[in-house]
Amino acid sequence: MKKEKVRERIIRVASELFYKQGYNSTGINQIIAEANIAIGSLYNHFSSKNDLLQAYLIKEELGWFEGYENSISTISDPKEKLLALIDYRKKLQQASKFAGCHFIKIVSEIGEGNPSVSAFATQHKEKQKDLIRTLAHEYGTEAKLTDTDSIADHIFLLIEGAVVTSTINKQTDSFDQIKKIVQGLLP
């Protein structure tokens, strides 16, 4: 197994802590201790905790889209890709033990106090919506549907609602429910 580089270890440890206990509740000293590095190593790679937060968000975004792409690698039908997105989000919720969306969590914790973080989270959700919109257009073209933008918006909101509901209820049934609704939206 390839040895983890110091920068990658710092980001991994910080990511786990930010997600598990929150950004504001995670101190630099805890990151240093759990990453088993010297303070100088941290500051050689990141000039501040905020820089580390940016690296965390980038890592999570890349991982999110890479995970989705891997989950649909054998699927060619756009409708099946949309349904697979619901399954993917369900799987993420289960894997995190219903801890919720990284981006919703960080924005709810930091709020507008950090405009670059809020902007990054907003951009991430827009990329997710664009992905859904692209798949809805592909499906709509094949199925001769009109107003695929509206369908895409509905699917996005349904998925986001299922994530929040499953985070609160610690169950995945909301994903099963919205999958049926989306199947009805995509005849």
| CATH code of residue 2 | 1.10.10.60
Cα of first residue to Cα of last residue in the chain, in angstroms, is: 47
Identify the band that residue 76 occupies on the pLDDT scale cut at 50, 70 and 90. very high
Contact criterion met (CB below 8 Å) for 71 and 88: yes
- Render the burial of 19-36: b for 16+ CB within 10 Å, e for the rest: beeebeebeeeebbebbe
85 and 149 inside one domain: yes
33 and 86 inside one domain: no
102 and 129 inside one domain: yes
DSSP 47: S
* Distance from chain centroid for Cα 51: 19
Identify the band that residue 12 occupies on the pLDDT scale cut at 50, 70 and 90. very high
83 and 151 inside one domain: yes
Look at residue 177 in the predicted model and tell me its pLDDT: 98
Domains identified in the chain, total number: 2
* Pairwise CA distance, residues 84 & 78, whole Å: 10
| CATH code of residue 80 | 1.10.357.10
89 and 120 inside one domain: yes
Residue 127: domain span: 56-185
* pLDDT tens digits, one per residue of 82-114: 999 999 999 999 999 999 999 999 999 997 788
43 and 70 inside one domain: no
Q: Residue 37 — left, alpha, or beta (φ > 0 → left; ψ -120 to 50 → alpha)?
A: beta
Look at residue 187 in the predicted model and tell me its pLDDT: 86
* Pairwise CA distance, residues 187 & 29, whole Å: 54
66 and 134 inside one domain: yes
30 and 79 inside one domain: no
117 and 32 inside one domain: no
1 pLDDT more than 80? no
66 and 137 inside one domain: yes
28 and 65 inside one domain: no
65 and 147 inside one domain: yes
